[in-house]
Amino acid sequence: MEFIKNTHYNFIAKRKYSFVLSSILVIFGIIEIITMIAGTAKIGIDFTGGLSMQLAFKHKISISSVRKILIPAGFKDVKLVKIKGKNDIIIQTKAAAKDLNAYTAEIKQVIKKSFEKNPPKVVSSEMIGPSVGKKLSRDAVIAIIISIIAIILYITWRFEFRFGLAAAIGLAHDVLALLGVIFIFQKEITLLVITAVLTVAGYSLTDKVVVFDRIRENLKTETEKSKHIDLKGLVNISINEVLTRTVVTSLTVILVVLSLFFLGGIVLHGFAFTLLFGVLIGTYSSIFIASPIMVILNEKHYK
């Protein structure tokens, strides 16, 4: 069985389109970062501090009935989510400035009093002080920067600097475009989502390494044959040669990520979402972004 056989697509020629598409995604990604810094983005309570509590009611429950109780009691900035197929409701709030211990107790009491005939049980609760969130976001930023630097150094060492630079640009693109997708779908940035972003960074690099590896190999045999090299053509051939591999490896990962997305439960939902789009973007950028950029960076060198 083979999906793709002896392809001769001219990927490099399509770079105008891919650059436009990527620019749009990257711009959205930058907007996401700006809104994150400004504090208007959807950021999980693990970074902002706040409260998240999952209540399992004994009988059927609707969000509006809970909201009706909470708003008159003074809990206005509360987000309510109902879990499908269950009588569970998640209450979230970013009341970071208040005394969260007391706040949690108050919400619990108000609900317990109002639903005496449908008593809820606290299935899980998460209360995070604002200082913890600050430390966490700082750690996350440091983690992203350090891993990107370490990867560039490794690629530079294994290949050469121009490859490293192209991979780094591709990687920066992947992270920003992924944040762009998160912005478009208005997904919440949580600790697990950041973990997924970092995992994708590692994975998409793996993908680029394979393509670059083939480019390097073909460059070596070609330079032995003649001095003049058609770099565009060579990169195109290389991408086509490893195309099946790129598609199939992504596909196997997408298969498991899809099962994680649909079956893995609510806790891992955002994580699986980010992985899914991350793998798609990483694969796309190996072909349509990192490789054309490699051509641009190397053109002077081989002319």
Question: 2 is written with which tokens?
Answer: 């083979």
Any residues with CB less than 8 A from the CB of 119 and at least 6 apart, and which? 57, 58, 112
Instruction: Fill in the DSSP letter of residue 62.
Output: -
Q: Which is nearer to another protein, 155 or 295 (CB)?
A: 155
The answer to whether the beta carbons of residues 178 and 200 sit under 8 Å apart is yes
Among residue numbers 164 through 203, which ones bind another protein (CB under 8 A)? 191-192, 195, 198-199, 201-203
**Contacts with another protein, 148-167, as mask; x by CB under 8 A:** --xx--xx--x---------
By CB under 8 A, name the one of 68, 146, 161, 185 that touches another protein. Answer: 146
Taking CA atoms, 5 is separated from 14, 92, 185, 244, 296, in Å, by 20, 51, 35, 8, 28
By CB under 8 A, name the one of 14, 98, 121, 301 that touches another protein. Answer: 121
- Counting contacts by CB under 8 A, is residue 242 touching another protein? yes
Question: 203 is written with which tokens?
Answer: 């994975």
- Rg value, the chain, Cα: 24
By CB under 8 A, name the one of 23, 230, 251, 301 that touches another protein. Answer: 251
By CB under 8 A, name the one of 10, 118, 267, 301 that touches another protein. Answer: 267
By CB under 8 A, name the one of 13, 71, 81, 248 that touches another protein. Answer: 248
CA distance 50 to 127: 6
**Contacts with another protein, 46-85, as mask; x by CB under 8 A:** --------x-x-----------------------------
Taking CA atoms, 237 is separated from 218, 232, 284, in Å, by 9, 9, 17
- Counting contacts by CB under 8 A, is residue 14 touching another protein? no
- Counting contacts by CB under 8 A, is residue 142 touching another protein? yes
Tell me which residue of 231, 193, 188 sits closest to 41, measured CA to CA. 188
Tell me which residue of 168, 176, 166, 130 sits closest to 149, measured CA to CA. 168
By CB under 8 A, name the one of 127, 184, 219, 229 that touches another protein. Answer: 127
CA distance 18 to 278: 16
Which stretches of the chain bind another protein, using CB under 8 A? 1-3, 54, 56, 101, 121-129, 131-132, 135-136, 139-140, 142-143, 146-147, 150-151, 154-155, 158, 191-192, 195, 198-199, 201-203, 205-207, 209-210, 213, 241-242, 244-245, 248-249, 251-260, 262-265, 267-268, 271-272, 275
